[in-house]
Amino acid sequence: MSPPTVTVGGAVLPITGAQLALVRDGRVLIQLRPWPPGWEIPGGHCDDGEDPAEAAAREAEEETGLQVRVLRLAGVYTWAGLRSSSDAVYVGEVTGGRWRRSIEAVGHRWAGAADLPPTTFPWIHQRVADALAAAAGAPPVHRIQPVSLRHVLFFGARWAGMLVDAVRRRH
């Protein structure tokens, strides 16, 4: 079976994953994933034959316990480098439920594009900014997002630095 597709600017793009940027008061819900550790938007892989918007909503509900509604497409993000797939990111809203921890999300917070934690996955910054722009009416975008060994090493160094700082504060 071929992967689902999403059209942006006339280009038909294959999709393997979908995320839902839940927007409230100019902020996006991000969650702390336990492994690999980092802050990110709820989402995951599309099941065979599954519409990416439905996958984004399903994953967000599974991971957060919230009831959600997909409002529109924010963009498609094609990986380059260590990964080679594409994610569709949608803008959505919370319609009910209560946030709860899950095996995929041990914490959450609402954040704007300028106040994301330092341990947010590097590719999420652009996705949050684009989701907030789409929530305000901007058209969907298609972006190439590089993921190199350099990205992985610098991201790991941020976590190490935070751990060292935490130990120093205790003493």
| Residue-wise pLDDT tens digits, 81-99 | 766 689 999 999 999 999 9
Beta-carbon count within 10 A of 20 CB: 33
Tell me the per-residue pLDDT of 60-69, one tens digit each, with 9 for 90 and over: 999 999 999 9
Q: Is 31 helix (H, G, I), strand (E, B) or coil?
A: strand
Is residue 127 within 8 Å of residue 90, measured between CB atoms?
no
pTM of the model: 0.88
| pLDDT higher than 90, residue 150 | no
Token code pair at residue 101: 């921890």
Residue written as token pair 């991201």 = 155
Using an 8 Å Cβ cutoff, are 102 and 63 in contact?
A: yes
User: Which tens digits make up the pLDDT trace of 99-145?
Assistant: 999 999 999 999 999 999 988 988 899 999 999 999 999 999 999 98
What does the alpha-carbon distance between residue 49 and residue 66 come to, in Å, rounded to a whole number? Answer: 24
Helix (H, G, I), strand (E, B) or coil at 30: strand
Q: How many domains does the chain have?
A: 1
What percent of the chain is predicted at pLDDT more than 90? Answer: 69
CATH number at residue 131: 3.90.79.10
Average pLDDT, whole number, for the chain? 89
| Residue 80, pLDDT score | 81
Q: Which domain holds residue 11?
A: 5-170
10-49 residue pLDDT tens: 999 999 999 999 999 999 999 999 888 889 999 999 988 8
Task: Concatenate the DSSP letters of all residues of 136-162 into one string.
Answer: TTPPPEEEEEEE-HHHHHHHHHHHHHH
